[in-house]
Amino acid sequence: MPEVIIHDDESFERALQRFKKKCEKAGILSDLRKHSHYEKPSERTKRKMSAARRKHRRPRPV
């Protein structure tokens, strides 16, 4: 869990912004969304296959 210490000359909003940024970098919100409901193994496979297809279709930069 990311931890933020509020400094004496720092506002709460700034500390909250730093906390949100640390959470985003740690991947907490995306992990929470991913585990918010049960995903059947067949659905997981289908999602991964479609992502692989999308990635494969994307043109490569030269």
Task: Name the band, by pLDDT with cuts 50, 70 and 90, for residue 62.
Answer: confident
**Angstrom distance (rounded) from CA 23 to CA 11:** 19
**Angstrom distance (rounded) from CA 54 to CA 48:** 10
Give the pLDDT confidence of 12-52 residue by residue, as tens digits: 999 999 999 999 999 988 888 888 899 999 999 999 999 99
pTM for this one? 0.56
Task: Name the band, by pLDDT with cuts 50, 70 and 90, for residue 10.
Answer: very high
**Angstrom distance (rounded) from CA 34 to CA 5:** 28
Supply the range of the domain harboring residue 37.
12-57
In a domain, 36, yes or no: yes
In a domain, 51, yes or no: yes
- How many domains does one find in the chain? 1
In a domain, 6, yes or no: no
pLDDT at 57: 86
In a domain, 43, yes or no: yes
